[in-house]
Structure 1
Amino acid sequence: MKLTTLLLLPLSTSTAFTLASARSRSAPLRMGLFQSLFSSMSKSYPPPCVMGDESLMSPKAHGTSPSPVQKDLRWNCDFSTADRICNFNRHYAEHAGYWTSTSFLNEEGDKEINFYDSNTGKLLFTAPKGRTFEQFVAESKSHGWPSFRDEETNWDYVRVLPDGETVSVDGTHLGHNLPDGKGNRYCINLVCVAGKPVDGEL
């Protein structure tokens, strides 16, 4: 009997994300492959990242959140897509490049942009910080989703779970942390951070 030995090599983070991006391009909203690749890689990310636990995503009145997403989201983001991804989802995403099909690039420019929770209107990210708008856009286009760094994240309201899932303290699914050579990189669905600010969050 002839035996064949298979050599299994671990996937690097960048390779895993490339595979996930390819899957997403061919099947919009699907990030199941991405989730499965990282589910066994639970870890604790160093400060300033603030870790959270599964209790944040426990069932609530509207999926994992107390309420639906806001009706009139910024940048013409689609309500039904946003509500599904934010509140009834742990493994899927808007399709890669979706954010470039919105009015985001036409409306925004060389200034800091505040990104608010599509459910609650709480401030989650402010970008760009420590880089230009062009650099922020280039990195986001390269990966397919708006990509934020530690200094652009509002840790009052953002948490990262051990498998890299990035969520709000109110249970909104946002995206995933995919660190690279520069550090933590939060790849976030635009539909999840397209809310309008509530009082005190400007």
Structure 2
Amino acid sequence: MSQYPILGDESIMSKKKHGTSDAPVQKELRWKCNNETADSVCNFNRHYAEHSGYFLETSFLNENNEGKEITFYDSVTGKPLFIAPKGRTWKEFVDESKAHGWPSFRDEEVVWENVRALGDGEAVSLTGTHLGHNLPDKKGNRYCINLCSVAGKPQDE
């Protein structure tokens, strides 16, 4: 039995000052992600997502074509949530993400000190940001994540 995902309880997503978080999303998100979409998905949503392929409409792929590891930060808090690609190539990461319609991460790419999966598969930050869902496939856990949820800038910027 795998040690992942690390499960959290429903209290993580309890009502806070701004939906399920203490604050709205950062004012300027990376990759030209739309703030209104991001705030809705991150803080006032438990089941839905940005539309399939949204990440392809942003500058994400154009700004990351060197294939180096990228740290994805919480759009509300700026805490690191995912680092990818790990254990696979940039092309494999992009191909899998394109096939599923959202950036898709694997267990080794999750920053577990800041991320949890709830019993229904919802992936969330420990501060209450809705990230997406764990949709396991034949390779294992696959975290299908909204780009607008992980387009924040590091908290020390």
Measured against the shorter chain, the TM-score band is over 0.9
Q: 2:108 matched to 1:151?
A: yes
Q: 2:85 matched to 1:85?
A: no
Q: Which runs of 5+ in 1 are unaligned?
A: 1-44
Which residue matches 1:101?
Answer: 57
Q: Which runs of 5+ in 2 are unaligned?
A: none
Q: 2:129 matched to 1:172?
A: yes
CA offset at residue 46 of structure 1? 3.5
The one-letter code sitting in structure 2 at the alignment partner of 1:54 is E
CA offset at residue 76 of structure 1? 0.0
CA offset at residue 48 of structure 1? 3.1
Q: 2:155 matched to 1:182?
A: no
Mapped to 2, the partners of 1:168 and 1:138 lie a distance apart of: 25
Find runs of 4+ consecutive structure 1 residues off by over 3 angstroms: none
Structure 1 length normalisation: TM-score? Answer: 0.76
The one-letter code sitting in structure 2 at the alignment partner of 1:164 is G
For the aligned residue pairs, the C-alpha RMSD in angstroms reads 1.1
More helix by share: 1
List aligned pairs for 1:11-160, cutoff 5 A. Answer: 46-109=2-65, 110-160=67-117
Which residue matches 1:197?
Answer: 154
Mapped to 2, the partners of 1:76 and 1:107 lie a distance apart of: 11
Q: Secondary structure at the match of 1:182?
A: coil
Structure 2 length normalisation: TM-score? Answer: 0.97
Aligned length: 156
